[in-house]
Amino acid sequence: MRAAGKGDENKMARFYRSDWGRIFLFALAQAIVIAGVVTATSQRWAMRQAARALPPLREQAIVLPPLYDCPWMVTEEQLEATLRKVFPRYRVPEPKINHVDHALRFWGPDAVFDDPQALSGAEMRDILLNHECFMKVWPTAPPYLEQGKEGLTIRTQEGLSTASHMDHSLASISETGIRRDYPVISPEGPTTFQELFETSLKEFSLDQMEYEWSILAYTLFLPPTTSWITSEGQEVNFDILAERLMRETLPAGVCFGNHRLHSLVTILRVDAEVTPLLRDKTRKLCMRFLTLVCQQLTKSQHPYGCWDGEWVNGQPSKASLKKGDSAIFDDTLRDQLVATGHALEWLAWAPEEVLPPREVLTRAAQWFVRTIEKMEPDKLRENYAYASHGAHALALWRKTEPAPFMKTRLKISKVSEAVTAQPPAAPSEHKSPKPEGT
**Average pLDDT value for the chain:** 87
Backbone CA torsion sign across 131, 134, 139, 141: negative
* Any domain includes 46: no
Backbone angles phi, psi at 192, to 5 degrees: -135, 170
Rg (CA), the chain: 31
pLDDT in tens, 41-55: 444 444 344 445 899
What local confidence, expressed as pLDDT, does residue 38 receive?
52
Domain range for residue 171? 61-412
Q: Which residues of the chain have pLDDT under 50?
A: 1, 40-51, 415-419, 427-438
User: H or E element: which one contains 339?
Assistant: helix 331-347
**How far, CA to CA in Å, does 419 sit from each of 202, 247, 413, 423, 424?**
59, 58, 10, 9, 10
Gap between the Cα atoms of 60 and 150, Å rounded: 23
317 touches 296 (CB < 8 A): no
Measure CA of the first residue to CA of the last residue in the chain; give whole Å. Answer: 143
- Rounded CA-CA distance 308/315 in Å is 11
Q: pTM for this one?
A: 0.82
Please count the structural domains in the chain: 1
Tell whether 10 is covered by a domain: no
Answer whether residue 430 is part of any domain. no
Q: Is residue 150 part of a domain?
A: yes
pLDDT of 397 reads 98
Is residue 425 in a domain?
A: no
Please, are residues 386 and 334 in contact by the beta-carbon 8 Å criterion? yes
Write out pLDDT tens, residues 239-285. Answer: 999 999 999 888 888 999 999 999 999 999 999 999 999 999 999 99
Residue 209 domain flag: yes
Element (H or E) spanning 368, and its range?
helix 358-374
Domain membership of residue 144 (yes or no) is yes
Residue 25 lies in a domain: no
**What's the residue count for the chain?**
438
Residue 428: per-residue pLDDT = 44
How high is the pLDDT of residue 423? 56
Q: Judge whether 392 and 400 are in contact, CB under 8 Å.
A: no
